[in-house]
Amino acid sequence: MKFNTEEINRLMHHRRSILPNLYTGEKVNDEIVLHMIENANMAPTHKLTEPWRFVIFKDAGLEKLGEFQAELYKKTSLEAGDFKEDKYINLRHKPAMASHVIAIGMKRDEKERLPEIEEIESVACAVQNMYLTAAAYGVGCYWGTGGITYVEEAKSFFGLNSKDRLLGFFYIGIPRKWPAGKRKPIGEKISWIQ
């Protein structure tokens, strides 16, 4: 099988993280979101554990997500004594800025007993596949790990148990413009040993 490597390289250089406040408000076709998920499912996975789990929020679901994360943040931050009203408001309204939000989970496969980091790495590869698919369609996306991502009490809302991980939220929308890339030259990051 032969692929157009020039196009593949161009796609990888075209991929961006685009924040929800840069979206137009237009809805992304569900078929594109499904293609993103299907391509995520093709990520590498040690022992074929396929640890990625996705919960897709759209329409009224975005409101449910905003309400859930804002209220959980309020509860846990009041208990810890570090509640911030502006963060609460942001968590409440941020999902509505996107067409879709995908909660990203990592489900542990207990029988394989793989190191957890390998399962997290597989999920990250799956998310990269979603990024590349979105870029190919001209759809903006952003993987955010703030808010309630690492709050233990959040897991059950997304169908995860105590041994699983919530790894963040993937915001999807139509960008107002496609931003330029910002990368330092690769030569600064490699060493050749011959």
Which structural domains are found in the chain, ordered by start?
15-176 (3.40.109.10)
pLDDT in tens, 148-157: 999 999 999 9
Q: Cite the beta strand spans of the chain per DSSP E.
A: 52-58, 100-106, 140-144, 165-173
C-beta of residue 45 within 8 angstroms of C-beta of residue 124: no
Q: Residues 9-48: pLDDT tens digits?
A: 999 999 999 999 999 999 999 999 999 999 999 999 999 9
Specify the pTM.
0.95
- Give the rounded percent of residues in the chain with a pLDDT score beyond 90: 95
Say what the pLDDT of residue 91 is. Answer: 97
Distance CA 82, CA 88 (A): 11
Q: What is the pLDDT of residue 191?
A: 95
Are 114 and 46 in contact, with CB atoms under 8 Å apart? yes
The residue type of 186 is I
What is the SS3 assignment for 169-194? Answer: EEEEECECCCCCCCCCCHHHHCCCCC
Three-class secondary structure of residue 146 per DSSP = coil
Q: What is the pLDDT of residue 140?
A: 98
The average pLDDT across 61-82 equals: 97
Residue (of 45, 31, 175) closest to 107 by Cα position: 45
> What is residue 110's predicted lDDT score, i.e. its pLDDT?
81
pLDDT over threshold 90, residue 113: no
Measured between alpha carbons, how far is 42 from 130 in angstroms, rounded to an integer?
A: 10
